[in-house]
Each structure stands twice: as C-alpha cells, then as structure tokens.
C-alpha cells in the first residue's frame, strides 16, 4: 500500500501512523486553529461595531460566533492528537500575513468576507477527502459556515454598490486588501505542501489553488462591477 492509500479513521489509529504523517496533520490543524482565532479577533468581532444597522450587526455576530467556533473545533481536535493548547494561539505561532490589515470601515469588512473567506473555502475544499477522517469530517462541518460568510460578503456588497459612494468604498477596500490574498496559498514547490499531498492530507499544489482562487475572485469582482488590482502570484524561492 502506498502512502496515499492511508485511511486513518480514529485518533487511536493516528497515534500509530508514521511520524511524518502525524507532523503533517498537526501542522494543518495548528494553522487553522491559530488563524481562525486571530481572524475572529482582528476582523469579525470589531466589525460588529462597524455594521451599519441592527440586521447587519446580527449577521456579523453570527459570523464572529462561527469563526470563534472554528477555532474551538480545530483546537479540540489538536489537543486530542497531542498539540499543546498554547501552540494553537497567535501568541505562540504567528498568524498569516492576510491579517496584517487595519480594519477601519464596513466596506473593508465586506471585502474581507468576499475574498478572504473565498480563499478559506478553497483551503477547506482541499481537506474534503483528507486521509485523516477526523480532519476531513471537521472540514465538511466547517464548509457550510464558510460559504455563509462569503454569501454574507456578497449580500452586503450588493447593497453597497447601489450608490456611487458605496461602490467607491468597496473598490478602495479591494485595492488595499486584495494584494495580500494570493500569499494565503503559500509558495510553489512548498515542502510542506509536498508532504501534505504525499500522505493524501491535501490534494492540490499551492500554485494550482492560487490560480483557481484568482479565477473565482475575478468572477466575484465582475459580479459587482469591481476591478481587481494586478497582483503577482507567489513565486518559488
């Protein structure tokens, strides 16, 4: 049986797998736990105050609740497979660079939901058939909520583009934030990505995911009459 034929159905089975396999799974779970928490802290929770009305605040509260919930789910799975709880916090592991953005207004948050959460959907999709079933199942549980977050962005973008002022605010936010997003997928020929694919934890190369993301992002921008800034996809080191 090759490595990619592995099917690991339980935590007990996980403990007996090769060290490289266990390391790969732990890296992914740790990353999700850290970044779900940090994103909720710096974007979703502060956006509640920026929301323009009670309806928007209500849905933003739901988004924040679900993002914190994603952190809790990944953290609990991480603890079960032996990751220290402290290692699943942004105080110990640096979050992704996409969170290095000061959220100042509602249009920026709408853009983040449209485009950053679209990137997260691709990441979750890549775990859909993960050989570690607890992680696969967690991805499948998480996906409907990530789709809601992107739909949230679309709903409020549709409201903003009804006015010239709102559309201009959206475009400004796209221009400022979107260039950060291709880095979300990592560099081509990544050693970590090769390890993930070797063991059937992930299925696609970083560069293929980034290209797919750019295609979907352009479709989203076109839907609202927005223009994506020119960005360079990450290059191999």
* Residue boundaries of the structural domains of the chain: 8-223
* pLDDT tens digit sequence for 87-119: 999 999 999 999 999 999 999 999 999 999 999
pTM beyond 0.85, yes or no: yes
Largest Cα–Cα distance of the chain, in whole Å? 60
Nearest to 226 by CA among 98, 107, 48, 122: 107
Q: 1.20.1260.10, 2.60.40.1120, 1.10.240.10, 2.130.10.10: which CATH number matches 8-223?
A: 1.20.1260.10
- Predicted local distance difference test score (pLDDT) of residue 3: 47
- Predicted local distance difference test score (pLDDT) of residue 235: 60
- Predicted local distance difference test score (pLDDT) of residue 214: 96
Per-10-residue mean pLDDT of the chain, 237 residues long, equals 70 96 97 97 98 98 98 98 97 94 98 98 95 97 98 98 98 97 91 96 95 97 97 65
Q: How far is CA 234 from the centre of its chain?
A: 17
Q: How far is CA 73 from CA 17, 33, 141, 196, 229, in A?
A: 22, 8, 10, 21, 35
- Predicted local distance difference test score (pLDDT) of residue 55: 98
- Predicted local distance difference test score (pLDDT) of residue 2: 42
CB contact set of 179 (below 8 Å; sequence gap of 6+): 229, 231
Distance in angstroms (rounded) separating the CA atoms of residues 35 and 75 = 11
Distance in angstroms (rounded) separating the CA atoms of residues 87 and 42 = 19
């Amino acid at each position: 049986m090759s490595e990619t034929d592995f099917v690991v159905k339980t935590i007990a089975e996980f403990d007996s797998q090769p060290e490289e396999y266990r390391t790969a799974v732990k890296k992914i779970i740790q990353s999700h736990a850290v970044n779900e928490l940090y994103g909720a802290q710096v974007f979703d929770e502060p956006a509640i105050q920026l929301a323009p009305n009670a309806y928007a605040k209500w849905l933003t509260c739901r988004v924040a609740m679900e993002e914190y919930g994603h952190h809790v789910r990944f953290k609990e799975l991480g603890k079960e497979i032996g990751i220290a709880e402290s290692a699943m916090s942004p105080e110990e592991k640096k979050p992704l660079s996409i969170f290095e953005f000061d959220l100042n207004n509602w249009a920026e948050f709408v853009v983040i939901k449209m485009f950053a959460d679209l990137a997260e959907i691709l990441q979750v999709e890549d775990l859909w058939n993960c050989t570690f079933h607890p992680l696969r199942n967690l991805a499948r549980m998480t996906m409907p909520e990530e789709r809601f977050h992107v739909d949230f962005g679309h709903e409020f973008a549709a409201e903003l583009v009804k006015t010239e002022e709102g559309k201009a605010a959206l475009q400004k936010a796209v221009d400022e934030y979107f260039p950060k997003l291709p880095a979300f997928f990592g560099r081509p020929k990544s050693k970590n990505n090769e390890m993930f694919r070797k063991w059937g934890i992930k299925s696609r190369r970083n560069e293929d995911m980034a290209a797919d993301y750019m295609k979907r992002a352009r479709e989203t921008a076109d839907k609202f009459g927005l223009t994506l800034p020119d960005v360079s996809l990450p290059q191999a080191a």
